[in-house]
Amino acid sequence: MNEIIKKKLLDKNELLINMVIERVKRDFLEDIAIIGLTGSFSTEDFHEKSDLDLIIINNTEKGWEISDCFILDDVGYDIYCTPWDSRIQEQSTLESPNVSSLTDLKILYYAKPEDLEKLNDFQQKALDALANPIGEVCLNRANKWIDLAKQAYSDTMLGEDIGSVRYASAGVLYNLVNALVSMNNTYIKRGIKRYLEEIRSFRYVPDDLESLYMSIIEAHTIEDIRITSFNMLNSVTRLHSTMCDNFIVKPAPTFDNLGGTYEELWCNYRNKILNSVTTNDASYVFLSAFGAHEYLDEMAMEKGTKKYDLMQYFDASNLPVMKEKLLEVMDDYLEEYDKVGRKVEHFTTFEQLYAHYMNH
């Protein structure tokens, strides 16, 4: 881009910025707190048709009335508000993918010093979060994006035409980019145009990242789209799992944290499975075993107990196997109680229970 065109674009932006500020001072003096510049003109990565990205933080509902959308000289512009308590808050905790709109915002206008101070507090909160080492917080934050990518992948499998399948694959890619951002406890600075360039520079990315990324975009058939989406999803989830193993300190079973967990397993699942096996109710066994498996997974994650693969033993044509294996698992789980010196809260009479419960 030559300097003449660049100057023309910047001059037009200045006119637009001044127009918005003039409107604020005239009609929204108490309603608009901050106006700042973000996007391609902030990073100087713009082209001739780039629009102007303004962050307008409103203090009141009336502030929304400044919003507008129009086309000027073949370029579309949208003037909109960014509320403190939703978008700015989410950016400050790194829950939003648009963190750069907060941390790298170039201030053009502020109504009062306290508004600027409030913004600075949010910015500092984000910067403090970004300064933290990779660990449990950022890896847990990535779970949301991985779950959304899995949901989008399921849509690639359910889609019946190439347009809907390709659309879903874009969701897989977008959410996995955000997952990688969270896994590396960083943020995207230059928008979707530079996604691949930016994530390539991250410390923790899947092997063959560029090939995985581009294969989704270059896929020609429904089957290819599904395969490439799965490959990218599988690579990121495996990386995430490895990072969790390396960076998250696993809990260990203790006297206190195991309290009531064996009894709850007995309460919620033991007799359901025993009864459903006795009545030969395969559906009841199946769903009860699912619940028990899920509960045991939660205990492994939260308490540090062993991980049990209970559902591998389900066989609709041989239900007693599930009863046998559940009882084995419960006996094994009970050993965790023994290791930490905890006794099961088990009573043979109501009087024993009453005496214990009333003096507990």
What is residue 40's predicted lDDT score, i.e. its pLDDT? Answer: 64
CATH code, 3-131: 3.30.460.10
Is the distance from CB of 31 to CB of 59 less than 8 angstroms?
yes
pLDDT of 86 reads: 85
- pLDDT at position 45 is 61
Per the rule left: phi > 0, alpha: psi between -120 and 50, beta: everything else, 47 is: beta
Query: Measured at the alpha carbon of residue 102, what is the angle toward residues 97 and 104, in degrees to the nearest 5?
Result: 105
Which pLDDT value is given to residue 186?
A: 96
Strands (DSSP E) found in the chain: 32-38, 53-58, 68-72, 75-79, 106-110
**Strands in 233-343 per DSSP E:** none
Q: Which tokens go with 86? A: 């939703």
DSSP 193: G
Burial 288-314 (b: 16+ CB within 10 A, else e): bbeebbebbeebbeebbbeebebeebb
Distance (Å, rounded) from C-alpha 241 to C-alpha 307? Answer: 15
Measured CA to CA, the distance from residue 299 to residue 252 in angstroms comes to: 11
Please tell me the distance from the alpha carbon of residue 168 to that of residue 151, in angstroms, as a whole number.
9
Token code pair at residue 245? 């193993």
Q: Residue 16 is which amino acid?
A: L
Helical ranges in 76-187 per DSSP H: 89-92, 100-103, 113-131, 136-158, 162-183
Residue in the block written with tokens 């050993």: 335
**Tokens representing 278?**
């006795």
Instruction: Give the domain ranges of the chain.
Output: 3-131, 136-247, 261-358
Considering only CA atoms, which of 121, 83, 76, 85 is closest in space to residue 103? 121
Place of tokens 């890896």: 139
Per DSSP bridges, beta strands 53-58 and 32-38 are: antiparallel
Nearest of 13, 51, 36 to residue 105 by alpha carbon: 36
Tell me if domain 3-131 and domain 136-247 are identical in fold.
no
Does domain 136-247 fall under CATH 1.20.120? My reply is yes
pLDDT along the chain (360 residues), means of 10: 75 85 92 87 66 88 91 85 91 93 92 95 96 96 98 98 98 97 94 87 95 97 98 98 95 95 96 96 97 97 95 97 97 96 94 90
Residue 107 CB partners (closer than 8 Å, separation 6+) = 34, 35, 36, 116, 119
CB neighbour burial string for 160-180, b if at least 16 within 10 angstroms, e if fewer: eeeeebbebbebbbbbbbbbb
106-110 and 32-38 as β-strands: parallel, antiparallel, unpaired?
antiparallel
In residues, how long is the chain?
360
Question: Which pLDDT score, from 0 to 100, does residue 97 have?
Answer: 87
Angle, vertex CA 97, rays to CA 91 and CA 101, nearest 5: 55
Q: Phi first, then psi: give them for residue 334, nearest 5 degrees.
A: -65, -25
- pTM to 2 decimals? 0.88
56: which strand partners? 35, 81
